[in-house]
Amino acid sequence: MRWEDVRGQTCSIARALAVVGDRWTLLLLREAFGSARRFEQLQRRVGASRAVVAGRLARLVREGVLERRPYQERPTRHEYHLTEKGRALQPVLLSLMAWGDVWLDDGRGRPLDLVHRDCGAVATPQLCCDACDEPLTPDSIRLRPGPALRSLDGPPEPEGYLDGPPDPEG
Amino acid sequence: MRWEDVRGQTCSIARALAVVGDRWTLLLLREAFGSARRFEQLQRRVGASRAVVAGRLARLVREGVLERRPYQERPTRHEYHLTEKGRALQPVLLSLMAWGDVWLDDGRGRPLDLVHRDCGAVATPQLCCDACDEPLTPDSIRLRPGPALRSLDGPPEPEGYLDGPPDPEG
């Protein structure tokens, strides 16, 4: 199966991965959430080749995750800014960071402190239920067909992860 | 720069991406959070080639995200189970799903409902501060050097995203 086909799946994870499921893309977004706006900055901080960075940026612009804004004429040069759609990816990046902080810290502690300005705490991000504010865990959730799958005629697809979370006893 | 070098960066996002920053890998984990345990199930549901699936699974086992458990002898066959480290990736997958639900829904609504068993609600996952329970937003956080970066002799690296979130005014 090619990614073009995966993208057509009625699955938000597959669709999201078709847009951002790539290491260099996610590193570019990491920088876009910081202060990097210009091609050379982005390329230097991410460390990929010009061709890789140009390709990934073009796709993110095409997908509406970044927008190009001119900052100079003759020759015209552009900065790359996160759109609202792009800023909505923050939980993906922070979840990756939080996982790396705990599981890949090399024994030296986390590289960065995440400071929550509103309360002043050094925060550990937690994924919570918006209804009751409690943390979501693998055992406390289940997935069932939603509006898009229920509207399909055939059997729901993909099948696998509708079956519920893994049994904690294995 | 090669990924082997990126992985050595004092950055939890880069390190996490070195392990799971790949589309097929994340699709395999999607299935592992469901009911798929065996190679053929995983391969069929993900839709990648045997070689791709075998390579990704081997890496996930090597990284301690999945563990192999024998379920049959002569010939020995194994199932793949999420470890604690693997289960800790749930926020990454749910964040990708939540983003796709909102931004890539094709106008037909989300494919799956996420039911929070504890409260019974169809939940939208929100990334929250573990100290005050409020949602984390791009404007409400900042990153500063943490224990691992403070322990380095040289200037902190990578530089970019220490500079704070983007200015909402652009």
Q: Cβ of B75: how many Cβ atoms within 10 Å? A: 5
Give the model confidence (pLDDT) of A108-121 as tens digits: 999 999 999 999 99
What's the angle, vertex CA A128, arms to CA A82 and CA B121, rounded to 5? 115
In this prediction, residue A158 carries a pLDDT of 53
- Is A35 an 8 Å CB contact of chain B? yes
In this prediction, residue A4 carries a pLDDT of 67
Contact A13 B26 (CB under 8 A): yes
Average pLDDT over residues A9-18: 93
In this prediction, residue B149 carries a pLDDT of 87
- Residue A50, pLDDT > 60, answer yes
Looking up tokens 């939940």 gives: B123
In this prediction, residue A53 carries a pLDDT of 97
φ, ψ (nearest 5 deg) of residue B144 = -140, 160
Q: Cβ of B95: how many Cβ atoms within 10 Å? A: 26
More confident call, B6 vs A75: A75
- Residue B165, pLDDT > 60, answer no
**Minimal C-alpha gap between B9 and chain A (Å):** 9
Predicted confidence band at A167 (pLDDT cuts at 50, 70, 90)? Answer: very low
B-chain CB neighbours of A18 within 8 Å are: 23
**DSSP codes, A106-154:** TTS--SEEEEETTT--B--EEEEETTT-PBP-GGGEEEEE-HHHHT-SS
- Residue B166, pLDDT > 50, answer no
B-chain CB neighbours of A26 within 8 Å are: 13, 17, 21
In this prediction, residue B10 carries a pLDDT of 86
- Residue B129, pLDDT > 80, answer yes
For chain B, what is the mean pLDDT?
A: 89
Contact B129 A116 (CB under 8 A): yes
Predicted confidence band at B170 (pLDDT cuts at 50, 70, 90)? Answer: very low
Contact B23 A21 (CB under 8 A): yes
- Residue B53, pLDDT > 70, answer yes
Give the model confidence (pLDDT) of B89-110 as tens digits: 999 999 999 999 999 998 899 9
How many A-B residue pairs are in contact by the CB < 8 A criterion?
375
Among A21, A111, A130, whose Cβ lies nearest the Cβ of B146?
Answer: A111
Contact B92 A92 (CB under 8 A): yes
Interface of B with A in 57-116 (CB under 8 A): 69, 81-82, 85, 87-106, 108-116
In this prediction, residue B167 carries a pLDDT of 45
Residue A127's nearest CA partner among B111, B81, B89, B31 is B89
- Residue A168, pLDDT > 50, answer no
ipTM for the whole complex: 0.90
Residue B88's nearest CA partner among A22, A113, A97, A137 is A137
In this prediction, residue A106 carries a pLDDT of 83
Give the model confidence (pLDDT) of A53-95 as tens digits: 999 999 999 999 999 999 999 999 999 999 999 999 999 999 9
**Minimal C-alpha gap between B74 and chain A (Å):** 22
**Minimal C-alpha gap between A141 and chain B (Å):** 5
Predicted confidence band at A1 (pLDDT cuts at 50, 70, 90)? Answer: low
Q: Report the alpha-carbon distance of residue A99 to residue A103 in Å, rounded.
A: 6
In this prediction, residue A149 carries a pLDDT of 87
Cα nearest neighbour of A107 on chain B: B148
Among B85, B94, B148, whose Cβ lies nearest the Cβ of A111?
Answer: B148
